[in-house]
């Protein structure tokens, strides 16, 4: 028995680099869901910093380090920031995270701060933060947003893990924000097919929140370009994005695979989050539960994998807490007897 590498690096034969920085990302649980027949949950919240971003950062930060950079920069709705901060810390790089003030969930802010990143707040949403990084950040620091192709190379490894446990499913359902992950996962499956391992490729289903659905709206109208949203709005702050930079890649993934885009409301997202937690035992942040909301809504036949992209603790503020108080043992017993 000899492991070939830590984290994503165990797939080094499928990656553009052979080894690099790792926090043991990947090997996340694939859980059969109780919520629908033939539905499996790939719980990416179980990654080291609690989201799928870690797969991409392992590769991206390795490239940053090897190219001699001493600083990295990202715009983020929070998870990219948390992941970049942790992997940059591990690699000994400085990390700048540009964040939309008031629109980043608390757990993610705490992570970025804890790992020693420089937190920079802007007045505006993610799209503006990303503009800043593209137009200014890249001149001073190595950018680790998902327009960086190395990130996507790391993220494609989730397809390999799904294949190892399940073979190739009929559908893979993915929450879409800046639209990098769905194209990365599609690339992973395509590469499996090239090796003759996946006879029938899965259909990719992209899920957006109703108030931040540029790709869904374009898809519904048969338009080739997204209908950008100036003021995106959703409880799922991770995917509160109006102008996804990777839209051409995401569109290609969905088209080539014979899949589709679908939107879910905030109510459906929160309900799915609750169901996933109380019936499957899996805690997702709202954006992560968007794929579950879609799976429930669509009731698609065939084997489906819903990618749950981030952990519940990322966004504690959306979770309502109700507690009962007891004054003595008798009152406790009364409760327990119910």
Q: Is 185 in the site for ligand F0G (CB under 6 A)?
A: no
Question: Among residues 21 and 99, whose Cβ is nearest to ligand F0G?
Answer: 99
Beta bridge partners of 263: 208
Cα separation of 178 and 52, whole Å? 14
To ligand F0G, the closest distance from the beta carbon of 67 in angstroms equals: 22
Question: C-beta of 62: minimal distance to ligand F0G in Å?
Answer: 19
Q: What is the CA radius of gyration of the chain?
A: 20
Q: How far is the CB of 42 from ligand F0G (least distance, A)?
A: 12
Cβ partners under 8 Å of residue 150, min gap 6: 16, 56, 59, 60, 62, 63
| CB nearer ligand F0G, residue 135 or residue 322 | 135
The number of residues that bind ligand F0G (CB under 6 A) is: 21
Q: Which residues are annotated as a binding site?
A: 79, 177-181, 309
- The answer to whether 123 and 97 are in contact (CB under 8 A) is no
Residues 310-329 that bind ligand F0G (CB under 6 A): 310
Reduced to 3 states, what is the DSSP secondary structure of residue 204?
A: strand
User: CB-based contacts of 227: which residues, under 8 Å, 6+ apart?
Assistant: 214, 217, 218, 221
Is residue 157 part of the contact set for ligand F0G (CB under 6 A)? no
Percentage helix, strand, coil, to 5, in the chain? 50, 15, 35
User: Which positions make up the binding site for pyridoxal 5'-phosphate?
Assistant: 79, 177-181, 309
Report the alpha-carbon distance of residue 289 to residue 306 in Å, rounded.
9
- Residues 333 and 35: their CA atoms lie apart, in Å, by 33
In this structure, are residues 303 and 175 in contact, taking their beta carbons and an 8 Å threshold? no
Q: Which of 181, 234, 257, 273 binds ligand F0G (CB under 6 A)?
A: 181
Please, what is the minimum distance in Å from the beta carbon of residue 313 to ligand F0G?
Answer: 12
Residue 5 CB, shortest distance to ligand F0G, in Å, is 24
State which of positions 159-178 bind ligand F0G (CB under 6 A): 175-178
The single residue among 76, 157, 234, 257 that binds ligand F0G, judged by CB under 6 A, is 76
- Between 137 and 180, name the residue whose CB sits nearer to ligand F0G: 180
Interaction site with ligand F0G (CB under 6 A): 51, 76-80, 146, 175-181, 238-239, 285, 287-288, 309-310
């Amino acid at each position: 028995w000899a492991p070939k590498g830590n984290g994503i690096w165990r797939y080094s034969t499928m990656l553009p680099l052979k080894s690099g920085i790792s926090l043991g990302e990947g090997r996340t649980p694939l859980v059969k869901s109780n919520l629908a027949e033939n539905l499996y949950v790939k719980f990416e919240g179980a990654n080291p910093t609690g989201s799928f971003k870690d797969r991409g950062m392992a590769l991206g930060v390795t490239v940053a380090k090897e190219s001699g950079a001493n600083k990295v920069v990202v715009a983020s709705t929070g998870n990219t920031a948390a992941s970049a901060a942790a992997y940059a810390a591990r690699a000994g790089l400085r990390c700048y995270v540009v964040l939309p003030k008031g629109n980043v969930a608390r757990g993610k802010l705490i992570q970025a701060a804890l790992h020693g990143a420089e937190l920079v707040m802007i007045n505006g949403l993610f799209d503006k933060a990303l503009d800043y990084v593209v137009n200014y950040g890249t001149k001073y620091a190595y950018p680790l947003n998902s327009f960086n192709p190395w990130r996507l190379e790391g993220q494609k490894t989730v397809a390999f893990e799904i294949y190892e446990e399940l073979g190739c499913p009929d559908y893979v359902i993915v929450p879409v924000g800046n639209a990098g992950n769905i194209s990365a996962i599609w690339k992973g499956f395509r590469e499996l097919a090239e090796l003759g391992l996946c006879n029938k490729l899965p259909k990719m289903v992209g899920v957006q929140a109703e108030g931040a659905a540029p790709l869904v709206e374009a898809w519904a109208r048969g338009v080739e370009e997204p209908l950008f949203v100036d003021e995106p709005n959703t409880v799922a702050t991770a995917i509160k994005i109006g102008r996804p930079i990777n839209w051409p890649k995401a569109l290609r993934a969905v088209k080539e695979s014979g899949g589709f885009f679908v939107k879910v409301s905030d109510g459906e997202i929160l309900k799915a989050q609750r169901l996933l937690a109380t019936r499957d035992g899996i805690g997702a942040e709202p954006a992560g539960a968007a794929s579950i909301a879609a799976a429930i809504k669509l009731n698609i036949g065939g084997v489906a994998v819903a990618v749950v992209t981030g952990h519940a603790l990322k966004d504690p503020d959306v979770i309502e807490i109700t507690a009962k108080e007891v004054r003595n043992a008798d009152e406790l017993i009364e409760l327990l007897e119910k």
